[in-house]
Each structure stands twice: as structure tokens, then as C-alpha cells.
Amino acid sequence: MNENAQWEENWDDAQADSTHYVLRLFITGASANSRRAVINLKDICEKYIKDNYSLEIVDVHQQKSIAAKEQLVALPLLIKISPSPERRLIGDLSDTARVLKGLGISEK
Amino acid sequence: MSSEPSNTALTLLKKTPSGINGLDQITAGGLPWGRPTLVCGTAGSGKTLFAMEFLVHGARDFNEPGIFVAFEEKSEELTVNVASLGFDLEKLQAQKLIKLDHIRIERSEIEETGEYNLDGLFIRLGYAIDSIGAKRVVLDTIESLFSGLTNEAILRAELRRLFEWLKEKKVTTIITGEKGEGTLTRQGLEEYVSDCVILLDHRVENKISTRLLRIIKYRGSVHGTNEYPFLIDEDGISVLPVTSLLLNHEASTERIPSGIPALDKMLGGSGFFKFSSILVSGTAGTGKTSIAGSFIDQSCKDGRKSIYFAFEESPQQIIRNMRSINVDLQKHIDSGLLTFSASRPTQSGLEMHLLGITRLVDKFKPEVIVLDPISNLITVGSASEVKSLLTRLIDYLQGANVTVMFTALAYNENKTEQTDEGISSLVDAWLLVRDIESNGERNRGLYVMKSRGMRHSNQVREFVISDEGLRLVDVFLGPEGVLTGSARETQQLVERTSVVLRDHAVSRKDREIERKRLVLESKIATLREEFESLQEELNKSYVEDELKKSVLDENRIQLTRKRDGSE
């Protein structure tokens, strides 16, 4: 898919530039937590790492088999794939300080 | 009057068989169908195995596929761990009968950033259930979530939702939980799972461990409330009901000979009842094993399959020793009628022994078994445990139509009235062998303490072990009561002598009488002779008188004729 291609591209970018953020957010449909998580994440990204990130949002309800593959338990879940180390952030991402800590971004 | 249809068919709680040996018996059918069951216990009490066995039996025996959600062990580890119990998880997974899912939550990798829920778990589980049509689910150990995630309020709400959801899904679930301080589980899961709670325990006494299972709660069902010992061995879990809930064994009126004819006679003429339990107790060296050996020999001779459980001697020792009293057990082994099972009591816990016995009985299907001696079992358990073991054993054996003979060592002469194991009230017949010490020697006395349902002798019989086998000597009453051993022999000799003497005296008297008779008879003959001669004499004079008279008469007639002058 187009999305996938872009994903690959982003991955390559990440290799080139270590400060490029590759993020994946797992949500469950249009639940309140999920909606808040999407909004919160977009806000943070736009504010702190604008133009320096790629974000994939996965609706677990659409791809149920992914739940076991990705060790999903608590949702919403944000995985920071790059830069390493990989980090997992659960919750609606409303605690900005913790999100930034989890992503390894220093507050400016 | 009322036109309402009477609702006679009550809806009983639907149950699903766990397939775990013995558990379905005490739960009267298994675990509550479509509901969650909490299995809690300390570390190493067998929770995971319990749950896994439930799944494997479901998949293999009841056509109910299952999901195993492991929060602690990895799928591969789990597969290896249960392979030792003969569960081939790889195969069952390939057949889509079982699905393993390992859920890993690493706290250090996780940052909590706000509100969340466990939808991931729900979706995962739902997907797994739907993919193989699972009917059974195991969550082992869901409490691990509490160590991975910190927001307890969310977790508790989510767990409550999870259990409700599982009920809606109509899957029978086992949730395992580690036992906490003062609570059944560390996180109080019992609050959420209220249908059935099973506690597994693991106790070590005298360095020997016993596993115990107790059903704490079973809503909507009768269940045994005792602590039931259970075992984990190569066949998985076996729960051993302490006593069956009913006492309804069939009673046989058939008899089974004891192998000692005189003993049979003491027991109303034909021996023990079939399927009864017999206790032979006595002090050391009184011949208990010999009685047991004779009994089993007789059974084999009558074509009954038998098992000899030896807890003290090796089979070879027993065979050799029995040969010395002319009982050949080897030939029964060769013909396949007799099996020996020898084990040291300390080799395993009591439960293991009981299981070993029941297993072998199930396999070999004997009609007669001997346990020799049960006293040694006390070294691995307390008296009450041994009693409960024997109770269950007797129960089981009667159900399996097996006649059983126990031998028990009475440690103390004074305690002969009561066996140390306290099982005398359980058995149907009780033979007591004891030493009778007198005149500087010990002799064996045997008596029937009790024999339910038959007339039996009340006598103490002397019991002799000889090259020809076992023999009961006839009761010998001397002037001072029952005599035994050499005292009996002496008394017998004395009596035999007196018989000879008396015989002699009698014959002498007889001869004298004979002589007297002869003398008397000759006297009688003489007297008769005398009488005859006297009679003859008398007769002679009488005839002469007659003659004289007739001559006189003749003469008178002639004289008269002459006077008349007619001449």
C-alpha cells in the first residue's frame, strides 16, 4: 500500500537522521481514549518534533491478529520505534511531561 | 386448579467436566460451564498444571478447544514444561485445539501517560477464541498485570469487565492467582470471580510433601468440602477423594477361604466374605506375613488374581521365606496370577502410595490384595493421615470388588486391643495373633477379634508354623486352662500315659471278673449235679412206693377172691 511505501521511506530517513522519530500508535476505533490519544499525540508532535517524525496509526479492531503479534494489552499504545531504544507509552497521552520523557525529547 | 404448566424440570447449573482425575467426582460433574473459576494457591502448588490439564482434557477428550494465556511463562517454556506430563502441546496447537498466547508486560519499557484500558487484551483474547472456536480459556496468572501496570483503579475495573465479558462469550475460564497474605489471591481476585473458587495447597510434614485441594466455593452446586490430597505425576493431576460421598458398596455373601482350613472353621466354616477387608495384627514375629502368604497362595490356587504389596521385605525375600513353610508363591508369579509390588514407605508420601496401589489395582484387576505391613506407613504420615488413607483405600477396594488383607504390627503387647493405625473399626474381620508367654517359651495364639456378619469362634487357638505350612492346633484344655506349646505337649503326654495305665488296669480287672465267673459257673454246675442226683433219689423212692402200692393192691384183691371161696 501507499502507506507502507511511505513507511519504508520514513524508515530510511530515520537511518539517515537519528533524530527522526518513527512512531506507531495503536488505538481502538473511535473510543474516547483513542480520540484523545490521537489529538494529544498530534499536538505534541507538532509542537516538539515538527517535520521530524512519521506516525502510523493502527486501529486494532481492524487488524485483530496484530494484537498478539505486537504484545498489545493496554490501549491506546504508542510505540517509539526509532530512535532506539524502543519505548512503549500507554494511555491517552494526556500527561505531556511523561510522553516527552518516554519519547526522549527534552522540553524546550 | 391452576392451569399453569408445572415447571418440574429445574434448570440445574450446567457443568463441564475438567477431565482431572477425581475432581469431577468431588464437584459432582466438573467446573461451572461458561463461567470463570478461580484456582489459587502458593507458588509451586500446581496451578498452572491444573489449568493446563483442564485445557488439554477439554481439547483431547471433550472436543472443547482452549486458549492458554500465559502471563508468566513463554509459550515454548510452557510446551516443554507440560511435555513431561505427556501433553503434546505442539500437536494440539497444530490441530488447532489449543492456542498458547504469551502476554509480556515489562514495566521498565512502559510509560503510563494517562487513561487507558485493556482493550488490547480483550481483542487478543476475542480473536484467539474466535479463531479456533474455543470453549475453554485459561488466564495464568492474570495478577501479573498488576506488576506491569500501576493504575490499580483501571485494572480492577477492567478485570471486572473482563470476567463479565468471558461469561458473555460463554467460555469456561480458569483464572489462576497466587495466594496472598490473609487473602486467597494477592489482588483479591476472589471478589470478581464468585462462581467457583478452588484452593491448592502444598504442605511439608516430616520432610514429605502433600498437596491438598479444597473447593472453597461453588455457587449453585453441591461439592465436597474437605481437603482432598492430590498428586502430580507423569499422568498429571489426580485428586483423591478422602471418602466417597456414599457408602453403598454391594455386599457379597460369597466366601473366600483363608488358606488355613482350621481358620476357615473358626470363621463359620468357610472363610472370609468376598470383597471384605481383613486385618491381621500382632506383635513382631507372630507370623502375620505367613498368614498373608497362605491367604494369597490359596487365592492363586483358586485361580484368583492377586497382588502382594510389600512395604518391608523384597519380593524375593518373601518368596524364599514362604517356601520354608511349603508355600510356593513363585509358581503363581510364573502363571501370571500373582504380582508383587514392593516399595519402601519412605519412598514417597502416603498419597503417592495410595495412588500407586489404586493404579496397579486398576491395571491388574485383582480379586485379592495383601498389604504387608501397613504399620510402616506411619513413618511417612501421622496416624490420622494413615487412617484416612486406609479409609479411602478400603472404600476404593470395596468399590472395585477386591478382597484385601492388611497386616499390622502391634508395637506394644498392651495395645493389642487397638491397632496403632486405628483402623480396626473399618475392617470387616480382624484376626489377632499374639505371643502367649509361659513356662519360659513363647507360643503363638490366634483369635478372631471380630468378623462381621458371621458366626465365629471365640477361642484362642494355638497357631503353629511348620514345614508343611500353617496349622491351628485343636484347643487343649488342661486343668489350668488352655495349654500351649510344650506345656500342651507335656499335658498330652501325661494324659496319654494315664490312658495306657487305665487301659492296663481295666484289662486286669476284666480278667479277674472272668476268673470269678468261671469259678462261679463251675460251682453252679456242681450244684446242678447235686440237685439232679437228689431228684433222681427222690424219684426212685416214689416209683418204689408206687410199685409197692400196686403189688399190695393186687395181693388184696387175690386174698378177697380167695375168702369168697370162689376158688
Burial class (CB in 10 A: 0-12, 13-18, 19+), B506: exposed
CB contacts of B149 in chain A (<8 Å) are 73-74, 90
DSSP characters over B106-138: -GGGEEE-S--B-HHHHHHHHHHHHHHT-SEEE
Residue A71 lies in a domain: yes
Q: How far apart are the CA of A40 and the nearest CA of chain B, in angstroms?
A: 11
**With contact defined as beta carbons under 8 Å apart, do B33 and B169 qualify?**
no
Please report whether residue A7 resides in a domain: no
Give the distance from residue A10's alpha carbon to the nearest chain B alpha carbon, in angstroms.
24
Q: Quick check: is A72 in a domain? A: yes
Contact B123/A60 with Cβ under 8 angstroms? yes
Q: Which residue of A has its CA nearest to B121?
A: A73
Residue B138, strand partner residues: B68, B174
Task: Look at residue A33 and tell me if it is in a domain.
Answer: yes
What are residue B43's phi and psi, to 5 degrees? -60, 135
Domains: count for chain A: 1
Contact B103 A60 (CB under 8 A): no
B346: DSSP letter = G
| Chain A residue numbers touching B112 (CB-CB < 8 A) | 89-91, 95, 98
**CB-based contacts of B476, cutoff 8 Å, min separation 6:** B462, B482, B483, B484, B488, B491, B492
CB B75 within 8 Å of CB B86 = no
C-alpha neighbours within 13 Å on the C-beta side of residue B529: 6
Q: Which domain holds residue A76?
A: 20-103
Say which CATH number the domain at A95 has: 3.40.30.10
Do the Cβ atoms of A60 and B111 come within 8 Å? no
Asked whether residue A87 is domain-assigned, the answer is yes
Q: Kindly report the nearest CA distance between residue A47 and chain B, in angstroms.
A: 17
The tens place of each residue's pLDDT in chain B, 567 residues long, gives 444 444 445 677 889 999 887 888 888 888 999 999 999 998 888 899 899 999 999 999 999 999 999 998 888 888 888 888 888 888 999 999 999 999 988 888 888 898 899 999 999 999 999 999 999 999 988 888 888 888 889 999 999 999 999 999 999 999 999 888 888 888 888 888 778 999 999 887 767 777 888 998 888 888 877 788 888 877 788 887 655 545 566 677 888 898 888 888 888 888 888 888 898 888 878 888 889 999 999 999 999 999 999 988 899 999 998 998 888 999 999 999 999 988 887 777 777 788 788 878 888 899 999 998 888 777 776 777 777 778 878 888 888 888 999 888 876 554 444 555 567 777 888 888 888 777 777 788 888 888 888 888 887 888 888 888 888 877 666 666 667 777 778 888 888 888 888 888 889 999 999 999 999 999 999 999 999 999 999 999 899 999 999 999 999 999 888 877 655
Interface subset of A 60-89, CB within 8 angstroms of B: 60-61, 64-65, 67-68, 71-78, 86-89
Is residue A6 in a domain?
Answer: no
| Residue A15 lies inside a defined structural domain of this protein | no
Is the residue at A88 inside a domain?
yes
Interchain proximity A93–B113, CB inside 8 Å: yes
B118: nearest Cα among B161, B147, B75, B150: B161
CB contact set of B259 (below 8 Å; sequence gap of 6+): B294, B295, B296, B297, B298, B299, B470
Phi first, then psi: what are they for B35, rounded to 5°? -130, 160
Q: What residues in chain B have their Cβ under 8 A from chain A's Cβ atoms?
A: 101, 103-105, 109-121, 123-124, 126-128, 145, 148-149
**Chain B contact present for A31, CB below 8 A:** yes
| B318 contacts B340 by C-beta, under 8 angstroms | yes
